[in-house]
Amino acid sequence: MHIKRLMKGNDKMAVKEFKAESKRLLDLMINSIYTNKEIFLRELISNASDAIDKSYYRSLVDENVTFNKEDFYIRIVADKENRTLTIFDTGIGMTKDELENNLGTIAKSGSFAFKNENELKDGVDIIGQFGVGFYSAFMVSDVVTVKSRAIDSNEAYKWESKGAEGYDIELCDKETVGTEIILKIKENTEDEKYDEFLDEYKLRSLVKKYSDFIKYPIKMLVKKSKLKEGSENEYEDYFEDETLNSMVPIWRKNKNELKPEDYDQFYMDKHFGFEKPLKVIHANVEGMVSYNTILFVPARAPYDFYTKQFEKGLELYSNGVLIMEKCADLLPDYFSFVQGLVDSADLSLNISRELLQNDRQLKLIAKKIKDKIKSELLLMLKNDSEKYNEFYKNFGRQLKYGVYSDYGMNKGELEDLIMFYSSTEKKLVSLDEYVSRMKEDQKFIYYATGDSIEKIEKLPQTELIKDKGFEILYFTDDIDEFAIKMLMKYKEKEFKSVSSKDLGFEADEKESQKETEENKYLFDFMKEALTGKVKEVRASKRLKTHPVCLANDGEVSIEMEKVLNMMPDNQNIKADKILEINTNHQMFNAIKKAFEEDKDKIKMYSNLLYNQALLIEGLPIEDPVQFANDVCYLIK
């Protein structure tokens, strides 16, 4: 509709129209490309920075042009009274033609063309490429005015537009080379408070958030107050020029120039955490895809780390301009505790910059980052075990969870990073250390599960293995045994629970079978008395001094039964339990005697022994009152 009314050749029309497709695009743009209105400032500042870069480039290739760093800056001026916000730069400026071509045609990027025409040398990283960023100004303004004077020109031009209707160009006055973008900020509506874009504090924080690492100073006159001269309590306002951005991103600085305190300070400035990070990784990577990254391993897990609320991700920058605050795709879940940022010029961004055009480069970066984190953690494990322990205390669970989740897809990545408490070393050890210490005749990596190290230490099931001088890993976390079942083996060595039916000692197993056979009637009778509770009663070889314990057969262990039954939707899964009796224990003689004299007593004894075994495992007794009465009966 508009398009026809504004057809070219209509003499009454003073206003020049946007190219037809541009008008539809502009509507689309203003209303749907960006989800966040505040990014208009980032876009205009990026353009200003590009314009200064172009001047700098001219100075490199043209002897007649000099570049004095002090002369190049960006200035923001907010005028609340007139509701105008001005972004002023001392960059290369635009000629009349350029105003027309670059601002009159949507999706035409003068910067992109510039980049292609000049094979840019290092140090010039032009940000613009889509030719739409400028129009984001219309999200917050009714009128946009651009005054510009190009570098080789004596005249300046004014471009003005109210949006989709078209634009106007005329000669104007402008003393210096560069560009001024003047936005007439919209009136507030019920949903939007446009006023805030005239507010000093808001502008300052927007610059910090999106444009902190633009390499030219972004200046603003800010209101300050001081004591009136000669007065002790009267204050007066005054204005002072301030540079709002820090300009040089720390990650572009040379690593040798940076001290640990610099990283710590940056970490806190970014609000990544309240205390110094445990580990800093700073890498400048060149290759298939180039990027700079600073990664932090926090000293402590954030309070919400192990909850659903926790959001993982790294900040993503393109040429120093913030694109995404939490890019989740840059981190695998098992390293979700890592914080930091990535800056790359190689990303092909979606038109709004809020998304990436294709994630091939991102995937490549993510993979390299993952590898880097892993290798740094391995180094820490090897060279600074104290620090690694500190790390592991906070995030070990996440690593073990990573081994288990996604059907063990990432177990190979993580198996070298996980640790468990060792029965012989009395500290956390890696699987690699364990395997390197394995005895010649040791087939398995043994582990025992329980609520705490103290409790596992006393488990009857560990007796035989300790007796043989083998090391046992203690599993105290819910996730441990699940992770290990997923891992299955480490360096070809299978894991074996100290409670599993067959511990892999042939001689002992034969002995147990022989004794079980010898006492067949007794054990069958006991099994009968414990119907539905145990699958088998047999002579134990794993017990040395203790009278009784539970062993288990099959995939589900007793510890897993406990964990699974604590889940909200538990299916009452049961481990197959075996009651093992120490036939060398005094108690066994009494049982044998009772079996000949009083079979009823055997029923009670069976239940007593079974209940004791349950208590040792930390499992509840089905009928504690009966248990108490039985014990009293014996005392009597």
Write out the binding residues for ATP.
43, 47, 89, 94, 102, 108-110, 129-134, 179, 353
Q: Quote the least distance from Cβ 127 to Mg ion, whole Å.
A: 6
Among 25, 38, 133, 496, binds ligand ADP (CB under 6 A): 133
DSSP string, 171-191: EE--SSSEEEEEEEEPPP-SS
Measured over all CA atoms, what is the biggest interatomic distance in the chain, rounded to whole angstroms?
123
DSSP state of 462: G
Question: Per CB under 6 A, which region of 108-116, 313-321, 372-380, 545-553 contacts ligand ADP?
Answer: 108-116
Q: SS3 helix, strand, coil % of the chain, rounded to 5?
A: 40, 20, 35
Residue number, 52 or 473, with CB nearest to ligand ADP: 52
Contacts of ligand ADP in 88-107 (CB under 6 A): 89, 91-92, 94, 102-103
As a whole number of angstroms, the distance between CA 115 and CA 121 comes to 10
Which of helix, strand or coil describes residue 506?
A: helix
Residue 128 binding Mg ion, by CB under 5 A: yes
Q: List the structure tokens of 224.
A: 């300050």
Which part of the chain contacts Mg ion (CB under 5 A), choosing from 120-128, 169-177, 301-309, 358-366? Answer: 120-128
207 vs 331, beta carbon nearer ligand ADP: 207
Q: Which is nearer to ligand ADP, 149 or 400 (CB)?
A: 149
| Beta carbons of 33 and 110 less than 8 angstroms apart | no
Q: Indicate whether 547 belongs to the interface with Mg ion (CB under 5 A).
A: no
40 SS3 class: helix
The helix (H) or strand (E) run that includes residue 147 is: strand 141-149
Report, in Å, the least distance between residue 197 CB and Mg ion. 18
Answer whether 399's CB lies under 8 Å from 378's CB: no
Shortest Å, Cβ 110 to ligand ADP: 2
Positions in 207-226 near ligand ADP (CB under 6 A)? none
Q: Which two structure tokens, joined as six digits, stand for 555?
A: 């995939």
112 contributes a contact to ligand ADP by CB under 6 A: yes
- Asked if 618 contacts 450 with a C-beta cutoff of 8 angstroms, the reply is yes
Query: Could you say which of 23, 34, 39, 47 contacts Mg ion (CB under 5 A)?
Result: 47
Binding mask 170-209 for ligand ADP (x = CB under 6 A): ---------x------------------------------
Choosing among Mg ion, ligand ADP, none, which partner's interface includes residue 112 (Cβ < 5 to 8 Å by kind)? ligand ADP
Only one of the segments 21-29, 87-95, 195-203, 229-237 lies at the binding site for ligand ADP (rule: CB under 6 A); that segment is 87-95
Under the criterion CB under 5 A, does residue 91 sit at the interface with Mg ion?
no
Between residues 48 and 250, which has the closer beta carbon with respect to Mg ion?
48
Of 28-57, binders to ligand ADP (CB under 6 A) are: 43, 47-48, 51
Which region among 110-118, 193-201, 235-243, 395-403 touches ligand ADP (by CB under 6 A)?
Answer: 110-118
Nearer to ligand ADP, 72 or 337 (CB): 72
Residue choice 91, 93, 110, 133 for contact with Mg ion (CB under 5 A): 133
Contact indicator for 623, 617 with CB cutoff of 8 Å? no
Cβ distance to ligand ADP smaller for residue 179 or 361:
179
Task: State the DSSP code for 16.
Answer: B
Question: Is 296 in contact with 283 (CB distance < 8 Å)?
Answer: no
- In angstroms, the CA 451 to CA 335 distance is 26
- How many of the chain's residues bind ligand ADP (CB under 6 A)? 22
Q: CB of 21: closest distance to ligand ADP in angstroms?
A: 15
Binding site members: 43, 47, 89, 94, 102, 108-110, 129-134, 179, 353
Query: Applying CB under 6 A, which part among 27-35, 125-133, 470-478, 532-540 lies near ligand ADP?
Result: 125-133
User: Min. distance of Cβ 37 from ligand ADP in angstroms?
Assistant: 16
Segment lying near ligand ADP (by CB under 6 A), choices 123-131, 156-164, 342-350, 372-380? 123-131
Q: Which is nearer to ligand ADP, 87 or 487 (CB)?
A: 87
Tokens for 147? Answer: 């005054």
Question: What minimum distance in Å lies between the beta carbon of 325 and ligand ADP?
Answer: 21
DSSP calls for 72-141: --EEEEEETTTTEEEEEE-S----HHHIIIIIHSTT--HHHHHHHHTTPPTT------SS-GGGGGGGTE
Q: How far apart are CA 171 and CA 354, in angstroms?
A: 36
| Cβ-Cβ contacts under 8 Å for 288 (sequence gap 6 or more) | 364
Smallest separation, CB 215 to ligand ADP (Å): 15
**Number of Cα atoms under 13 Å in the Cβ half of residue 404:** 15
Per DSSP, 33 falls in state I
Q: How many CB atoms lie within 10 A of CB 602?
A: 20
Q: Where are the beta strands (DSSP E) in 453-560?
A: 472-475, 489-490, 493-497, 536-539, 548-553
599-617 and 520-529 helices, crossing angle to 10°: 70
Residues lying near ligand ADP in the complex (CB under 6 A) are found at 43, 47-48, 51, 89, 91-92, 94, 102-103, 109-112, 128-134, 179
Which residues of the chain form contacts with Mg ion (CB under 5 A)?
47, 128, 133
